[in-house]
Amino acid sequence: MAESTTANTPETGQPELKRAIGPKLLFFFVIGDILGTGIYTLTGDVAGKIGGALWMPFLGAFLVAFLTAFSYLELVGKYPRAAGAALYTNRAWGIHFLTFIVAFMVMCSGITSASTAAHGFGGTYLPRAFDIQVSGTVIAIVAVIFVLVLAAINFRGVSESVKANVVLTCIELSGLLIIIVVGIWAVLQGDGEPSRLVDVNPPGDQHWTFAIAGATGLAFFAMVGFEDSVNMAEECKEPAKIFPKSLLWGLAGAGLIYILVSVTASLLVPADQLAKAKSNSLFLVLEAGAPGFPLKVFAFIGLLAVVNSALINMLMASRLLYGMANERVLPPFFSTVHPLRRTPWVSILFTTGIAALLVGLVSKDAVSKLGGTTALLLLVVFFVVNIAVLRLRREKVEHKHFRAPTWAPILGAILCACLALPGVSGKKGEDYLIAGILVAGGIVLWGLNWLYMRARHEEPHHLDPENLTK
């Protein structure tokens, strides 16, 4: 049955979000979000932690993400609403503070990732693609304009946004396929050094097991993104039906591409050179495997990969606030939907404002560190989601939905907890300090939000399961 364009949500009386995402668009959303800028920028850093065996941490990160994806699939099928992890936390425990902090962590992951991408757009890929020099002030201005353009696309409509994502995903995918094809060609010509694929050579006297764990924790940042898709559940057609295949195939495809790219990089370029090149490591791979390949073309592809990553993260962040407002965890004005565009325009404005402040007032290095720390917080969020799916098994819904094998969330929770622990993850004390500061900021915001909600005599609530598919 065709959906009414004037249908309202029962909780807020606002127009419903437009359901424009089918299985193919959802698949491209998932794979585009995972690919993003991670593999374009992390290869060198991972090589610096482990040596030539680059494929090991990417494979490990894929397995952790895949296990957690099962939990997300059961929960999004059971509760196909916006807000993702925060919604599941609210339903599992009903603790306003815990729900708010989880929502805050996830929002930080989206906004800081988009802000990092905006800085990368103005400061790295734009100059390299067009062979120009830009100052710090110009980078900040370009980054702010970049964020505002993304907001306009976001406001225009989810259909336009996800279709733009399909085009950008195909382009960013082409860049990684170029790397893989160059690697295959070079190996067929007798180039490459296979022995590097099993070379675990961590810096200093670090034991190889901790080196693999630390590199996996870093590579995990490249595998996240699949969780953003569940925040789009209210804009998907038959979410309980289309999510399992779209999410799992998208995650599997991205994991395979990451492993092939990392194998290619290790075959063609020594690990120490990749580590020194950092975010430019894939340019070294091209130069080694195809010396005549025009690097500006690859830089332009990287430029569009950055755009896609930022667009998806800003979509997610705005839908998270919308969903939490519907749960009455946040003030209700965040659930305001534009009557014509049917997009959450207040949440879009709010998240855009934060991202613009970050890219305009904070240095690129600071934003990058914040983004890395948020990856640590996401491991905590994934741990919570894996526990929540088990706790919510006792809450039944009438419609059919995906059910994860019980061992998957248990193993996923254990691995997420291990990767977040100091000494195992390989993360620096600075990462935990910044994480603590972020959480402290979230606590302050929770207090202000609690005072606002109390003044309006509003309390957080649980949605009726019978209304969750409407």
In this predicted structure, what is the pLDDT of residue 314? 92
Number of other residues whose CB lies within 10 A of the CB of residue 342? 22
Q: Which stretches of 269-363 are DSSP H helices?
A: 271-277, 281-289, 295-326, 345-361
Q: Cα dihedral angle (347, 352, 353, 359), rounded to 10 degrees? A: 150
Contact between residue 373 and residue 98 where contact means Cβ atoms under 8 Å apart? no
pTM of the entire predicted model: 0.87
Dump pLDDT digits (tens) for 91-132.
999 998 999 999 999 988 888 888 888 887 887 778 888 888
Contact between residue 258 and residue 63 where contact means Cβ atoms under 8 Å apart? no
Residue 403 has pLDDT above 90, yes or no: yes
Dump pLDDT digits (tens) for 256-303.
999 999 999 999 999 999 999 877 888 899 999 998 888 889 888 888
Tell me the CA distances in angstroms from 452 to 316, 324, 330, one per residue in order. 25, 15, 9
Which pair of structure tokens corresponds to residue 46?
A: 């991972």
What does the DSSP 8-state code read for residue 467? G
Residue with tokens 């609403």: 81
Contact between residue 57 and residue 46 where contact means Cβ atoms under 8 Å apart? yes
Domain at 23-460, CATH homologous superfamily: Amino acid/polyamine transporter I (1.20.1740.10)
pLDDT confidence tier of residue 8, bands split at 50, 70 and 90: low
Q: Cα dihedral angle (463, 464, 469, 470), rounded to 10 degrees? A: -90
Residue predicted with more confidence, 44 or 410: 410
For 386-400, what is the mean pLDDT?
Answer: 93
**Residues 6 or more apart in contact with residue 109 via CB below 8 angstroms:** 224, 313, 374, 375, 377, 378, 381
In this predicted structure, what is the pLDDT of residue 429? 75
| Domain ranges across the chain | 23-460
